[in-house]
Amino acid sequence: MKLSSTLPARPDARTAVVVLEFEDQQLAGYEKALAALGVDLGALRAEKLIVGKKHKVSATLVKSGWFVVAVGLGPRKDFTAEGARQALGLAGKTLLKQERTRAAFLAHPLTKGPFTLAEAGQAVVEGLLLGQHQFDKFRTVEKPERRPLQELVVSGLDGDGATGFRRGFDRGLIVVDSVRQVRDWTSRPNNDLHSEVYAREAVAFLKKAGVKAQVLGRKALTDLGAGAFLAVNQGSSHEAQMVVARHDGGKKGDAPIVLVGKGICFDTGGYSLKLAAEMHRMTDDMAGSAAVIGAIAALARLKVKHNVIAIAGMTDNAIDATAYMPGDIVTSMSGRTIEIISTDAEGRMVLCDCLTYAGRFKPRFVVDVATLTGGCVVALGKTAMGLFSNDEDLCARLQKASEASGERAWRLPIYDEYYEKIKGELADLKNAGDRYASACTAAAFLETFAHDQKWAHLDIAGTCWFGEEAPYVPKGSTGTATRLLVRFVEDAAGNG
């Protein structure tokens, strides 16, 4: 999508004018500027076609011939970059339905929020393009012909304002590219994206972004002693794959930020079988790995000046005669032994070895991302991901990035009592406690393998997939945590 500042001289079939309105304030000069374009804002208000109510959307052809998409922003005091992202996401969906490939709007409302014009430019792009994104690879008979946006025209900015908006626009395009790839990977079924295909595609995607990557297969993982990871892979016909990617954006020798992702391409639950009614959705159990791959690719393309490593552990959790079973005892890469209580607690088995491997890089911070527990979904629903950490500074940084990106994260505790629940009876640890505080005991298990690292865990089980549309999210995969991680690393590098 290209950006320009010259509004079209007359109405045409591909252009829509996007009008943004606050619920409680009419902006000086906005009505006059729209009138000069040929849009009578007063008439739209009189006809109740725009009322300013948050997320209220209308689309109409006005007398001058312009097609107008009007979106309410709600009260001005509540207006944020996320509010702009949501409003433009709704506009983008409407434009797609109306087959309008050019959006034109006046920037007046975007100058009234508590955010920079660079942040506004990024929010606009993310809202418009992510709002239009759809996964339709496997549709044939009813596959819609989509005409997504090709051009954005923004008027009313000059000098530093226009430069800042352009900077945010360009940054947004890069982030959107990663989020769309994350959504597409997470949407694909295991027979189309098993671990070996996924690893190859991830390496190719990273290579295009200028990121170095290697793949450690079953032999390499065996040599490393990754017994927990390989236990999960025992029942699979596809090799376990650990993708290790690095962006050397900082100074040589500077401690990297390590991002670790769970990549279970399909999760049957193993012998601790999942309910049949819910199992088909388990193609999204690799969303954490997709997020860290998408994030490091975006960070490299943004030329962020910090060393970053991404580690993605990929396998499925299948059942056959060789699959691991409840009661088995395995030895992890760290040397700790683990008693298998539930084969459906497989994500933490993969992650614990990935976290041990992360320690060899002597990281500044380690953040793991995983669709880890149904308990987190029960606690926080689809509204926020769970955040756990052993370091106050790291936790505060992630919460700040959460607020800036609009990807909510809510901190949950890891009390001493939760460690007691994962103490083994026949081994050092057991891989699951009881059903109470399951998200917290799972985090306690992971923290055990973080050693002395400054570590955080994001449980995205609730936020990785939506059963219904949101303003800039389709029904299905959300691409969650990708934008949060990008913002977190940028802030840590000092250029967020």
The Cβ of residue 485 has, within 10 Å, a number of other Cβ atoms equal to 29
226-269 per-position pLDDT tens digit? 999 999 999 999 999 999 999 999 999 999 999 999 999 999 99
> Is the confidence at residue 143, as pLDDT, over 80?
no
The CA distance from 330 to 339, in Å, is 7
Q: Going by C-beta distance under 8 Å and a sequence separation of 6 or more, which residues neighbour residue 440?
A: 375, 388, 412, 413, 414, 415, 418
* pLDDT for 147: 87
CA distances from 212 to 138, 196, 248, 362 (A): 31, 18, 9, 19
Q: What is the pLDDT of residue 451?
A: 81
- Spatial distance between the Cα atoms of 17 and 108, rounded to a whole number of angstroms: 14
Judged against a pLDDT cut of 70, whether residue 121 lies above it is answered with yes
What is the band of 198 on the pLDDT scale with cuts at 50, 70, 90? very high
Q: What is the pLDDT of residue 142?
A: 72
Say which residues have a Cβ less than 8 Å from residue 337's Cβ, sequence separation at least 6: 329, 330, 331, 424, 427, 428, 429
Look up residue 310 and give its DSSP letter: E
φ, ψ for residue 306, nearest 5 deg: -155, 140
Tell me, what's the pLDDT at 495? 62
Mean pLDDT of 289-314: 98
Q: Virtual CA dihedral for 188, 189, 195, 199, nearest 10 degrees? A: -10
Q: Rounded to an integer, what distance in angstroms lies between the CA atom of residue 92 and that of residue 70?
A: 11
Is the pLDDT score of 399 beyond 50?
yes
Enzyme catalytic residues? 274, 348
Q: What is the CATH number of domain 2-179?
A: 3.40.220.10
Give me the mean pLDDT over the 84-89 stretch.
98
- Residue type at position 142: E
The CATH number given to 189-493 is 3.40.630.10
Q: How far is 139 from 143, CA to CA, in rounded Å?
A: 5
Candidates 134, 127, 209, 125; CA nearest to 170 is: 125
Residue 145 has pLDDT above 80, yes or no: no
**Residue 342 has what pLDDT?**
98
At 300 the pLDDT is 98
Q: Please give the average per-residue pLDDT across 187-203, as a whole number.
A: 97
pLDDT for the residue 383: 96
Which pLDDT score is estimated for 496? Answer: 47
Amino acid at 86: Q
Task: List the alpha helices (DSSP H) in 209-246.
Answer: 218-224, 227-233
Domain boundaries, the chain: 2-179, 189-493
CA distances from 29 to 58, 175, 220 (A): 22, 33, 65
Provide the residue type at 149 as one letter: L
Q: Do domains 2-179 and 189-493 have the same CATH topology?
A: no
Cα–Cα distance, 66 to 37 (Å, whole number): 9
Sheet holding 429-430, edge to edge: 329-331, 337-339, 429-430
Per the DSSP assignment, residues forming a β-bridge with 368 are 260, 457
Question: What local confidence, expressed as pLDDT, does residue 326 receive?
Answer: 98
**Pairing, β 241-248 against β 307-317:** antiparallel
Quote the pLDDT of residue 144: 67
pLDDT digits (tens, 9 = 90+) for 51-74: 999 999 999 999 999 999 999 999
Which amino acid is located at 17 in the chain? V
DSSP state of 302: T
Which residues, at least 6 apart from 158, have a Cβ–Cβ distance to it below 8 Å?
none
428-444: per-residue pLDDT in tens?
Answer: 999 999 999 999 999 99
